[in-house]
Structure 1
């Protein structure tokens, strides 16, 4: 939302008022907050205080390294919910202090402080490290205020605010060379400076400025992040209105955000996820290959069995089979009832599949909508389980499903009913749920069951209550650490309900790159686990892009083959080519590699959860924040903290990637390259740039391992990559329990070898 026409003029149709003075500074009695009264003109006499709007700016020390900033125009405005569920694991103790000197008034929250200029006529608030070592950002002249649209010609017109929109905004300064990242799963440029970003969940695919997962958090390369504390629509001008500022605006009377100081990006994410929550542990089996029926394809039990048998004969283990939409009857989506014409005995069918040994787990597609044709619709409408219009009608639309209604999760009884539907699916043998949709939640002419909620805030927040209900139902049935959702829509806090996938992408190399950028941005918002539709969702992938996507997709935390109107089993892509570079052979090799990586991956997953970090895809800047280049790298990523992956986007196999400082060893060939430098390589379909960071102790499953769940301490291969004193690797079992660590001591010996079982070996790579 832009409010200015260049630097000097107001934009047509808007009137803007800026905080000009800091007239009074009031210390809260507990010593943890300051309240600033800020008139919108300089006050030089008593008469200047009349007919003059003010803005109140509250600064609070929240916990070490975190200060909140809240701007309010009219404090009497209702602050309706929903509100983000903050500090789900408890609030840390704060270390607050307030001091006054000739430099101004300073509020400190442990390692971060805000200093207010001593001259009341100089609007200047500086955020900095408490020890004075680093300046972060500032609120300067004309950086805090409110706006009306349309512009009123007289204050009398504001007697009836129904005719006006009211906005509150802040503008934090951008330093020279500063970059901004995150804001959810964004598919455009990785560095957001220069972009206008609207945080509003939309079903727009990956090739647009819209996003399924809008998260009101951004990370700066200057060692801090900002979390905007509202699920409502947020408009950001990231160096796109004033090129030296990030403008944040919301419709309403108040705006609150938290400034989070690291100084490292990992520390910023740890503190951000202290506020909003961290991912739950996902089971080891979920890291295996997921195979889907695809979206609009026709299938029955025979089709499913043929897919799984075909994968088995090609040495491609499938851990999870996913039934997409048409397990349900057409026009009935989503009443949670199997289409009995196609699947007359769903429980027996699932039991047969599992007992065959071809697959271990079953997932089904769901959404929070209900088509009018389903007999369940009438019951849900009568009981008040569906969202209503203001006149009492059920809110319905023909977009997606004819006459569909939307489950109203603000009604506790509706949530109980929805969960009971999940439990019925679990009774049939379902182990995981794909929670699709949840983005197009209406805000006009709607009345939620809970009258205290703001429909606009419910739009994004709906994804939280939707995924929470399903995730907790899975936990209750299968166990706290066995729950897996496969979610598309998300907002801040949804990282607590893993996992998320990247949405509808085309079957092109450009879409693969878009998806990667989306995953990188989402990972910088505290989401530990992420997946993508291997091969692309829309269209028919050519064999080469399918194979390149397989290599990429099997090195993300979770790996699923899924398409729209075509199958994604490999033999349908290349007419069942039998060559060594065929789709089937390529998929088998990369699936086997991921199985071998599981001792490393599952240990890294535990570390990612604890730190609020992405497992994969992890932006390079998280591991190499002091390297300026790392903040611009969006065609490669880290798999955990030790492995670098650069997907190939060219049919020729040509790829260019960046190696940060240090020695890097090619996982496949053992060749060593030193960084920092750019590297060009050419790859067939059985390799890609896959490099191991120096000083790595890498634990792998045995050669030829095909399973995802096995004993991660038995018959393992331990590789030491230029490992020196102190290098270590965490050892976990297949339940995620830490069993100890392997560590290099001062004599270059490996401590902890007694934890290894069977014919485990240690190999020195140098």
Structure 2
């Protein structure tokens, strides 16, 4: 949201109260994290005693929840409205900072927050003694809008679904400096430009598709190339202006009277994400089988057990590895979503069918959402028990968008959560292994929640409660290492309930590219696992798009074939599509010792499996804007092909890189143009890489230590320790001589 009219003026109807000086600084033991600093920041410079009268002041509190992280709390009226923060499972009891009121500093690990006494207002953040950003003149402010204020709120969210923003009149904003050449990443899964500089970004989940500025996964966290990260600790609406209002600053604003944010020390993106996920939560280890191929019925297609069986047998006949079969919406009867009952007209024997599928060593996924249609027998049951969200007059909130007369399960009610889980538990007893937790974004704000939660806060946070309910059930029923979702919506902390996928893309090369941008942005927002609909969701891809997307999809963290009104079995396109699917699915199975270890690393450090180039090469200025290639872990560079002809431009950092497909070595340090057939793409091993290579190409969950090869690639020296862990937990560490190149 923009409050100013150019550099000098405010927009009509906007009143701004800016922090003008640090009038006094004192040490406290009652900050949110124990020891900290409290600063009185009056909204005018105090030149004489009378200036303190009839004068607003901002109270700024600094503390540290964990090493290397500073919490900043800006309050106009402490007793005023605040949405409350996110869950912070990693916060240390008593905090982790050392405060010095006389020096105006709070130090925690490599990070120091420094307040300059007096005027003008100045709050600087230093990493290892170097200033990385700061809050300066006219940066911290309390903003008030008159009823006729000339501020364009815009339509944020789904207007047709009536889930846009409620009108607000008071805001707190902060601005942090943008350095020359500094680039900003993250803010959730966003499908526009990967670098967020110049963008206005609203943290407000919406079902907008991948070809829009809206996001299913809005995360008020960004990562800077200057060596720090920032989280606005507010699950409600947060508006960011990233060099788009004040072009020298990143501005973020929240409604109400209080703004709270965290600064995370680097200096590298790896360090930032390690600290961010240490505070907000790290992903669990996902099961080995989940990395295998997922095949879906697609959305509106006609199917029954015979159709499903033909798909599975078709994959086996063509030697195409398959790990998970997914039943999308119409496994339930139309107008009944969700009643969690198999449509008896096409699935008369669900228990028998699931048993037959499991005999083929397949895992089973089914689609769900948190809505209960009026026709569903569960609607009356849930309404009578108080399990559905209500309006202020006590009536059940309902609408007709998506499902006729549907209500919304109130996961702030523990009894409603247990009731919802009981319906899923019955499916698990039948043989279902995991759930696609669809939707969770279109959450209204004109409702009353069981626990009295602020409706604006719950709009983004609802997905957390929904996914948590399902993930907790899977952990309880299947065990810690065998629980996995396929979720669409999320916010900060959602990385603790993987896997997430990119939502409704179109079946084009452009949409394939925007999907990758979304995945890279999500990776820089602390999410380790990510997937997308191979071939695109809307429409039917032509064979070229399908084959190029297949190579990309099978070199992603998780891989699912899924569409809207048409099947996504490879032979529906052409014979070459079958060959391409075989090539890359078998390649991924060979890479499983490497990929599974990346998942274990993610659980320990928060490092994503699919990594933006900037994550691994932060010192290389050439990678700052690269959004058409990525690294699968630290050692495998992937440049998907976004053209039918196979022409692709990509960048290799300095060193000797080796093609995983041909064994050819090339020197990096510049751009390359290559032309690839459908069975190929730029896939390069990093200089000095050691890649554990599995012995099997038919499935994802096998003994990675049996028949293991360690492929050593040129460009390294000395030795390197490589650990390989089998799905059953057995691990072995090998010391590898990097001069003994095997490729």
TM-score relative to the length of structure 1: 0.92
What residue in structure 2 maps to residue 389 of structure 1? 391
What residue in structure 2 maps to residue 597 of structure 1? 591
Verify: 1:135 aligned to 2:131, yes or no. yes
Structure 1 counterpart SS, 2:480: coil
Q: In the aligned structure 1, how far is the partner of 2:640 from the partner of 2:88?
A: 36
Q: 1:99 Cα deviation (Å)?
A: 5.5
Structure 1 counterpart SS, 2:138: strand
Q: 1:740 Cα deviation (Å)?
A: 2.2
Verify: 1:643 aligned to 2:636, yes or no. yes
Conserved? CA contact 1:695–1:727, under 8 Å: no
Q: 1:353 Cα deviation (Å)?
A: 1.7
Verify: 1:61 aligned to 2:59, yes or no. no
Conserved? CA contact 2:282–2:602, under 8 Å: no
What residue in structure 1 maps to residue 178 of structure 2? 174
What residue in structure 1 maps to residue 158 of structure 2? none
Conserved? CA contact 1:278–1:610, under 8 Å: yes
| Residue range with higher mean Cα deviation, 71-80 or 299-308 | 71-80
Q: In the aligned structure 2, how far is the partner of 1:175 from the partner of 1:692?
A: 33
What residue in structure 1 maps to residue 159 of structure 2? none
Conserved? CA contact 2:617–2:623, under 8 Å: yes
Q: 1:90 Cα deviation (Å)?
A: 5.8
What residue in structure 2 maps to residue 661 of structure 1? 654
What residue in structure 2 maps to residue 148 of structure 1? 144
Verify: 1:202 aligned to 2:202, yes or no. no
Verify: 1:271 aligned to 2:275, yes or no. yes
Q: 1:3 Cα deviation (Å)?
A: 0.6
Gaps of 5+ in 2: 150-165
Structure 2 counterpart SS, 1:26: strand
Cα distance change, pair 151–174 in 1 and its aligned pair in 2 (3 A): farther
What residue in structure 2 maps to residue 714 of structure 1? 706
Q: In the aligned structure 1, how far is the partner of 2:266 from the partner of 2:616?
A: 14
Conserved? CA contact 2:719–2:736, under 8 Å: yes
Q: In the aligned structure 2, how far is the partner of 1:141 from the partner of 1:97?
A: 24
1:705 to 679, 697, 705: 697
What residue in structure 2 maps to residue 538 of structure 1? 538
2:428 to 426, 430, 437: 426
Structure 2 counterpart SS, 1:267: helix
Q: In the aligned structure 1, how far is the partner of 2:342 from the partner of 2:724?
A: 42
Cα distance change, pair 277–738 in 1 and its aligned pair in 2 (3 A): farther
**C-alpha RMSD of matched pairs (Å):** 1.7
Cα distance change, pair 91–309 in 1 and its aligned pair in 2 (3 A): farther
1:578-593 equivalences in 2 (<5 Å): 582-593=576-587
Q: In the aligned structure 2, how far is the partner of 1:516 from the partner of 1:297?
A: 26
Q: In the aligned structure 2, how far is the partner of 1:383 from the partner of 1:316?
A: 47
Structure 1 counterpart SS, 2:528: coil
Q: 1:717 Cα deviation (Å)?
A: 2.4
Q: 1:92 Cα deviation (Å)?
A: 9.3
Q: 1:79 Cα deviation (Å)?
A: 4.0
Tell me the alpha carbon deviations over residues 388-427 of structure 1, each in whole angstroms, 9 at most, x when there is no partner: 0000110000000000000000111100001101101101
1:120-131 equivalences in 2 (<5 Å): 120-129=118-127, 131=128
Q: In the aligned structure 2, how far is the partner of 1:428 from the partner of 1:90?
A: 42
Structure 2 counterpart SS, 1:686: coil
| Count of aligned pairs | 723
What residue in structure 2 maps to residue 43 of structure 1? 46
Q: In the aligned structure 2, how far is the partner of 1:210 from the partner of 1:46?
A: 50
Conserved? CA contact 1:361–1:431, under 8 Å: yes
2:78 to 75, 100, 104: 75
Q: 1:95 Cα deviation (Å)?
A: 4.4
Cα distance change, pair 88–113 in 1 and its aligned pair in 2 (3 A): closer
Conserved? CA contact 1:89–1:277, under 8 Å: no
Structure 1 counterpart SS, 2:707: coil
Conserved? CA contact 1:184–1:525, under 8 Å: yes
Structure 1 counterpart SS, 2:88: coil
What residue in structure 2 maps to residue 249 of structure 1? 253
What residue in structure 1 maps to residue 736 of structure 2? 744
| Residue range with higher mean Cα deviation, 545-554 or 657-666 | 657-666
Conserved? CA contact 1:219–1:225, under 8 Å: yes
What residue in structure 2 maps to residue 456 of structure 1? 456
Q: In the aligned structure 2, how far is the partner of 1:705 from the partner of 1:135?
A: 50
What residue in structure 2 maps to residue 116 of structure 1? 115
Tell me the alpha carbon deviations over residues 326-373 of structure 1, each in whole angstroms, 9 at most, x when there is no partner: 001110101111111111111111111222x2x510000000000001
Conserved? CA contact 2:36–2:97, under 8 Å: no
Q: 1:465 Cα deviation (Å)?
A: 0.7
1:284-303 equivalences in 2 (<5 Å): 284-303=288-307
Q: 1:78 Cα deviation (Å)?
A: 4.6
What residue in structure 2 maps to residue 468 of structure 1? 468
Tell me the alpha carbon deviations over residues 667-698 of structure 1, each in whole angstroms, 9 at most, x when there is no partner: 11111112211011010011100000111111
Q: In the aligned structure 2, how far is the partner of 1:188 from the partner of 1:590?
A: 28
1:217 to 209, 217, 221: 221
Q: 1:705 Cα deviation (Å)?
A: 2.2
Q: In the aligned structure 2, how far is the partner of 1:693 from the partner of 1:647?
A: 17
Tell me the alpha carbon deviations over residues 104-144 of structure 1, each in whole angstroms, 9 at most, x when there is no partner: x22211211122223x1221111112x52x11101110000
TM-score relative to the length of structure 2: 0.95
What residue in structure 1 maps to residue 496 of structure 2? 496
Q: In the aligned structure 1, how far is the partner of 2:148 from the partner of 2:725?
A: 64
Conserved? CA contact 2:63–2:95, under 8 Å: no
Cα distance change, pair 219–194 in 1 and its aligned pair in 2 (3 A): same
Verify: 1:689 aligned to 2:682, yes or no. yes
Verify: 1:86 aligned to 2:84, yes or no. no
Q: In the aligned structure 1, how far is the partner of 2:126 from the partner of 2:387?
A: 49
Conserved? CA contact 1:485–1:500, under 8 Å: yes
Q: In the aligned structure 1, how far is the partner of 2:271 from the partner of 2:194?
A: 20
Q: 1:152 Cα deviation (Å)?
A: 9.1
1:183 to 187, 202, 214: 187
Tell me the alpha carbon deviations over residues 507-558 of structure 1, each in whole angstroms, 9 at most, x when there is no partner: 0000000000000000111111110000000011000110000000000011
Tell me the alpha carbon deviations over residues 623-652 of structure 1, each in whole angstroms, 9 at most, x when there is no partner: 111001222110000001100000000100
1:327 to 328, 331, 336: 331
Q: In the aligned structure 2, how far is the partner of 1:91 from the partner of 1:621?
A: 34
Q: In the aligned structure 2, how far is the partner of 1:745 from the partner of 1:376?
A: 62
Conserved? CA contact 2:82–2:256, under 8 Å: no
1:27-38 equivalences in 2 (<5 Å): 27-29=27-29, 32-38=35-41
Cα distance change, pair 530–382 in 1 and its aligned pair in 2 (3 A): same
